[in-house]
Structure 1
Amino acid sequence: MPLPARSSFPSAPESVRRARLFADRTLASWGLDARADDVRLCISELATNAVTHGSVPGRGFTVTVTAEDDAVCIEVDDPSPRRLRPCHTTSDDTTGRGLHLLGALSDEWGVTEHDPVGKTVWSRFKTTPAPRKAPC
């Protein structure tokens, strides 16, 4: 397995595109781009959340991409003490769907709170099909 790839970005709107390109290029260099569309969209959502809700003056966010035996993991760390919660949106809302997309596109996700502040939002994307069960 390749070593995890990590890059830090300033808390600025243009960093969302840079984070997406970083993850995309990392997966391509590893030959693990089968789920690149899902990873790309989730990185965009998590980086946007980090810039919009997780920013602290003078501190940015970090993206880590890790290859495992059967999955690709992404992590976005931000320094904010603000807790992460999925929003309840209506069809008229133009924001608030990022964590719902993360749940729909990744195989699992979660949040690790750091003491005293900050958090890591992570998600896993399986890269090999699940074994089929034999018929009864």
Structure 2
Amino acid sequence: MKATTIETARRFFEARPESVGQAREFASETLAEWGLSERTDDIRLCLSELATNALLHGTVSDHGFLVRLDAEEGVVRLEVHDSRRRRPEPRQAADTDLSGRGLILVAAHADEWGVQDRTPLGKIVWTRFRTTESTRG
């Protein structure tokens, strides 16, 4: 049986450091509205890492990023859209490194993740989170 999208929310964020926190709040509010609190902490953590990567590595100067959340029966999909095609790759950070662990955290907290090209430019980094909760009916 083909799953049907029950809920979708999206918001564009400017290329500013405070946008990462605003994106986390957007996710929290959206998931609460949908009655999907079970994986909120994991989704917020992954969103924080992906939004930070979009700001630091994925956006053309002065371009922001788009966050999209989709809820299907038993699954929440999080996407972060940015304006560069450069694909992120997990790396093994040294104990003394102050950064470089974001995608390792995403892989540890999301059930799946990946990258796809975005038309006309850029990419989408997506994550999926299985839930036992249903979206509102």
TM-score for the superposition, normalised by structure 2: 0.88
Q: Which residue identity does 2:39 align to in structure 1?
A: R
Q: Which residue identity does 2:63 align to in structure 1?
A: R
- The aligned length equals 129
Moved over 6 A (4+): none
Shift of 1:84: 1.3
From 80, 86, 90, give the equivalent of 2:84: 80
- 1:49 is matched with 53
- 1:63 is matched with 67
Q: What stretches of structure 2 of length at least 5 have no aligned partner?
A: none
C-alpha RMSD of matched pairs (Å): 1.5
Partner secondary structure for residue 129 of structure 2: strand
Percent identity, aligned pairs only, is 51
From 121, 128, 131, give the equivalent of 1:117: 121
Q: What stretches of structure 1 of length at least 5 have no aligned partner?
A: 130-136
Structure with higher Rg: it is 1
> What is the alpha-carbon distance in structure 2 between the residues aligned to residue 120 and residue 83 of structure 1?
9
Shift of 1:116: 5.5
> What is the alpha-carbon distance in structure 1 between the residues aligned to residue 16 and residue 124 of structure 2?
18
- 1:20 is matched with 24
Q: Deviations over 1:38-75 (max 9, x none)?
A: 00100100000011111112321000011011111100
The answer to whether 1:30 aligns with 2:34 is: yes
> What is the alpha-carbon distance in structure 1 between the residues aligned to residue 42 and residue 85 of structure 2?
27
From 7, 10, 14, give the equivalent of 2:11: 7
Shift of 1:113: 1.8
